[in-house]
């Protein structure tokens, strides 16, 4: 089955750090660009970051640039998001998604930034 499964979301204090993971299965992971997209409670979708198939190119939303780092390990079929200097406004459900046009999404992992 083709699927993406996110993990790592927890409650963290402002200023803290967190690493999210996304495990891919059922497709050739290193054929695809991968993304992180987030959705704050009751709000719309916000693109966060993208990484090319080989990890050679990365892009970030201005809201997370300098604080978040996207990476991948193609040998483990896994995508990661290292989140530092977390703010309350980073509270959201974080999704990983596959492909340039985000054709497949995981179910999301919830990150809550609160004191």
Partner 1 sequence: DIQMTQSPSSLSASVGDRVTITCRASQGISNYLAWFQQKPGKAPKSLIYAASSLQSGVPSKFSGSGSGTDFTLTISSLQPEDFATYYCQQYNSYPITFGGGTKVEIK
- Binding footprint of partner 1 on the chain (CB under 8 A): 35, 37, 44-47, 50, 59-62, 95, 100-108
Cβ proximity to partner 1: between 101 and 115 the closer is 101
- Is 14 or 40 the residue whose CB approaches partner 1 more closely? 40
With H, G, I as helix, E, B as strand and everything else as coil, classify residue 90: helix
Q: Which is nearer to partner 1, 16 or 61 (CB)?
A: 61
Looking at beta carbons only, is 13 or 107 nearer to partner 1?
A: 107
Alpha-carbon distance of 8 to 19, in angstroms, equals: 6
Report the candidate in 73, 74, 96, 104 with the shortest Cα–Cα distance to residue 22.
96
Minimum distance, C-beta of residue 89 to partner 1, in the bound complex (Å):
17
Residue 39: strand, helix, or coil: strand
Going by the DSSP 8-state scheme, the letter that residue 50 receives in this structure is E
- Residues linked to residue 60 through DSSP beta bridges, in sequence order: 49
CB of 63 to partner 1, least distance (A): 9
* Residue indicated by tokens 């079929």: 77
User: Closest separation between CB of residue 38 and partner 1, Å?
Assistant: 11
């Amino acid at each position: 089955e083709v699927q993406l499964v996110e993990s790592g979301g927890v409650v963290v204090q402002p200023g803290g750090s967190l690493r999210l993971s996304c495990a891919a299965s059922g497709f050739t992971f290193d054929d695809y660009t991968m993304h992180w997209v987030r959705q704050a409670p009751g709000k719309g979708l916000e693109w966060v970051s993208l990484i090319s198939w080989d990890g050679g190119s990365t892009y970030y939303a201005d809201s997370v640039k300098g604080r978040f780092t996207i990476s991948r390990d193609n040998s483990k079929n896994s995508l990661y998001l290292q989140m530092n200097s977390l703010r309350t406004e980073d509270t959201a459900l974080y999704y990983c998604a596959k492909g340039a046009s985000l054709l497949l999404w995981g179910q999301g992992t919830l990150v809550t930034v609160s004191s």
